[in-house]
């Protein structure tokens, strides 16, 4: 099976190169494709992606790691990474393909994910943010559950994993309210529906039509998985959480939490 890694990106110039390196390091031996969707970044992320990977929306670029675990980009030339002063060299053909897609303007995480899902060709898809709050090494247990036939969908859970950075109580409370509200309506026992790390079989995605452009994706996807007539086998696996403060670039806020409650009612009633 091939794994498609969909990475929505918005203003992550300080972490994008490290995030891509960590993704390339994850699940060695598993065929992967990386799909980066820049959602209208204005902090230099867009320019870094063009400089590093070449022409906008170009396909056929590949990446691998050298013996020092440095990311190697292959598209026939050598580029200089001016942001971090490290040369990105060229070497033998790689097994990991990468495609970078650009939105002309910021449309939201859900819109970026839909663009990435449309381009994905793997039998299994995983979502990874570019902000380094989540470690792709945690995919091991998630992948095994799907590969061995136990699960169709695997959610990470920050409450089962460690380490877990201590941050905002109101975020914890909001997540618990949202998760428990969905559990009540959908008869599930999820602990962390707002988690980024979600891995699922392609058939799960093909079974639903996603519409949310913003962070409401998390609610919409969860409700539609839980209420599907296909009765998808849903698991959770602990993941570490290196959360960011607002000063460090965190984007989700209380307004998204309020909207999530409305989305739960909306999608529960219409799914």
Tell me what pLDDT residue 55 has: 64
The three-point CA angle 40-120-253 to 5° equals 40
User: Can you give the pTM of this predicted structure?
Assistant: 0.85
Predicted confidence pLDDT, tens digits, the chain (271 residues): 999 999 999 999 999 999 999 998 899 889 999 999 999 999 999 999 998 887 655 556 677 777 776 777 775 443 344 333 333 333 333 358 889 999 999 999 999 999 999 999 999 999 999 999 999 999 999 999 999 999 999 999 999 888 888 877 888 888 899 999 999 999 999 999 999 999 999 999 999 999 999 989 999 999 999 999 999 999 999 999 998 777 776 777 768 778 888 999 999 999 8
Tell me what pLDDT residue 221 has: 97
At how many degrees (to 10) do helices 217-226 and 254-270 cross?
Answer: 30
Domains and CATH numbers, the chain: 1-132 (3.90.550.10), 159-195+202-270 (no CATH)
Tell me what pLDDT residue 60 has: 60
Tell me what pLDDT residue 81 has: 40
Tell me what pLDDT residue 104 has: 92
């Amino acid at each position: 099976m091939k794994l498609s890694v969909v990475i929505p990106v918005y203003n992550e110039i300080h972490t994008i190169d490290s995030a891509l390196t960590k993704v390339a390091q994850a699940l060695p031996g598993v065929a992967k494709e990386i799909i980066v969707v820049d959602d209208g970044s204005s902090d230099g992320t867009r320019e870094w992606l063009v400089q590093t990977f070449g022409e906008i929306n170009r396909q056929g670029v590949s990446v691998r790691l050298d013996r020092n675990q440095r990311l190697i980009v292959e598209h026939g030339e050598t580029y200089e990474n001016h942001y971090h002063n490290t040369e990105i060299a060229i070497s033998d053909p790689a097994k990991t393909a990468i495609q970078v897609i650009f939105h002309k303007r910021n449309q939201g995480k859900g819109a970026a994910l839909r663009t990435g899902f449309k381009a994905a060709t793997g039998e299994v898809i995983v979502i990874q943010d570019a902000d380094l709050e989540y470690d792709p090494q945690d995919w091991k247990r998630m992948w095994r559950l799907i590969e061995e036939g136990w699960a169709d969908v695997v959610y990470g859970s920050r409450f089962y994993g460690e380490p877990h950075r201590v941050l905002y109580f109101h975020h914890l409370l909001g997540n618990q309210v949202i998760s428990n509200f969905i559990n009540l309506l959908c008869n599930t026992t999820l602990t962390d529906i707002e988690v980024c790390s979600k891995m699922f079989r392609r058939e799960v995605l093909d079974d639903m039509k996603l519409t949310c452009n913003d962070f409401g994706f998390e609610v919409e996807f969860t409700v539609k998985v839980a209420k599907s007539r296909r009765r998808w086998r849903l698991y959770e696996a602990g993941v570490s959480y290196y959360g960011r403060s607002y000063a460090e670039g965190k984007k989700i806020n209380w307004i998204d939490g309020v909207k999530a409650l409305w989305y739960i009612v909306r999608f529960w009633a219409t799914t």
